[in-house]
Amino acid sequence: MRWLHAILLILLALPAAAEGPLRPGLAQVDLARSSIQAEGRDRGRPRPLELRLGLSRPVPYRVYFLDGPPRLVVDFQEVDFADQDSGAMPGRDLVPALRWGRFRRGWSRMVMELPGPYALRLALQTPARDGAQGALLSLRIEPVEQQGFVTRGTALSALWDLPEPVLEGDPALPRDAGDERLRVAIDPGHGGQDPGAQVGAISEAALMLGFAAELAEELSRAGFAVTVTRDDDRFIPLEQRMTIARTAGADLFISLHADALPAGGAAGLSLYTWNQQANDRATRELALRHDRDDLVSGLDLRGADSQVVDVLMDLARTETQPRSEAFAKFVVLELRRAGIGMHRDPMRGAAFSVLKSPDIPSVLIELGFLTDAGDRANLFDPDWRVGTAQAITRAIGGWAQDDAARAAVSRK
């Protein structure tokens, strides 16, 4: 129910003047519902602090600390601080300084200087209470010794792997201003030191690179803008694949795979959207394979799944997840129309890291399994590949229209 509530909240709280069908308007800060509070009596030493921020709707955010001087940084995607004076924040005098503003396209930042080193104890974004609309972000931090002070560069920030902030007005915007085309990020799975599934001389990495190029061509021909996460046999960590898509301003993310499953594993094309709870055996097996490349690179992010990360991911996904699932349905529909064989249960959920993007609808397509002779034949059949690429292209067109229509309805 909490899930449903959050979705409704997002739909209800969308401001009327959204910028475009895929970009709902910015969240607003409500200072009347915001405050900084200190716990206990002031004895001249740092005290536990609680920051509360009233927002007009839930937003994805991340929290981390920086040193020199110690400060808490909260990045939001995206909050409109323009009309709010940080000096008017209740409890502002409890900290040495408080600043906020937009720091790069799509992101705004709040910086709270701290009287010493702190650690994050709680990060929670909940629906607003007492009949108010929107969301309430609560952060509780407690003083720690200097050696316990964990600053950016840790696993927590690595999980996001966002590019470093740039100054506002940076001319190097990755997406051409005025380019209104839907931008699709195509992610050929694996690459470089991680060849993916291998059957004889065939590697999944090479096969997906080829199919990605064919799909990219179909998409360009149909008038879509395309970004690929790799266009050669190169190793790219999973989180970075999402970052590439995000930096390019992608509206949709499609990861392409053709993995191996042990004998008896089901065959046929299937689509995966994010589902943390998915745990059937084949899916677990695939998750291990997909996530292996991060282990290969020595960057094991599984330990970074802190409560904080989970919370912010869940929140962002309440908005994005239905859109990912809607896209997967369009793909199934178009593949069926094209007479392309699929797994008997083609739409599934999985906790694949590459689907974790909280802000871009993301789908992973297993085009087939290299371990299956029939699937292998398809993957090497130019007609099958063209038919599949065209069906996916039509699905993107159908989904984009549907998605824009839904966004328009939810703004009314």
Cβ distance to Zn ion smaller for residue 78 or 259: 259
189 near Zn ion, rule: CB under 5 A: yes
Q: CB 171 → Zn ion: shortest distance, Å?
A: 37
Cβ distance to Zn ion smaller for residue 189 or 191: 189
Q: CB 299 → Zn ion: shortest distance, Å?
A: 18
**String marking each residue 248-267 x if it binds Zn ion according to CB under 5 A:** ---------x-x--------
Query: Please, which residues have CB within 8 angstroms of residue 1's CB and are 6 or more apart in sequence?
Result: none
Cβ distance to Zn ion smaller for residue 7 or 260: 260
Q: CB 255 → Zn ion: shortest distance, Å?
A: 8
Cβ distance to Zn ion smaller for residue 9 or 207: 207
- CA-CA distances (angstroms) from residue 253 to 112, 256, 350? 34, 10, 15
Size of the site for Zn ion (CB under 5 A): 4
* Residues paired with residue 120 on neighbouring β-strands, in sequence order: 141
Cβ distance to Zn ion smaller for residue 12 or 288: 288
* Residues paired with residue 98 on neighbouring β-strands, in sequence order: 112
- CA-CA distances (angstroms) from residue 347 to 141, 203, 255, 273, 328? 41, 25, 15, 8, 7
Q: Are 388 and 279 in contact (CB under 8 A)?
A: no
* Residues paired with residue 76 on neighbouring β-strands, in sequence order: 61, 108
Other beta carbons within 10 Å of 169:
8
Q: Give the residue, chosen from 46, 70, 134, 196, that forms a contact with Zn ion under the rule CB under 5 A.
A: 196
> Residue 77 and residue 165: Cα distance in Å, rounded?
13
Residue 397: both structure tokens together = 């067109």
Q: CB 203 → Zn ion: shortest distance, Å?
A: 10
Cβ distance to Zn ion smaller for residue 184 or 350: 350
Q: CB 202 → Zn ion: shortest distance, Å?
A: 13
Q: CB 258 → Zn ion: shortest distance, Å?
A: 7
For 59-77, the DSSP string reads --EEEEEETTTTEEEEEES
Task: List residues binding Zn ion (CB under 5 A).
Answer: 189, 196, 257, 259
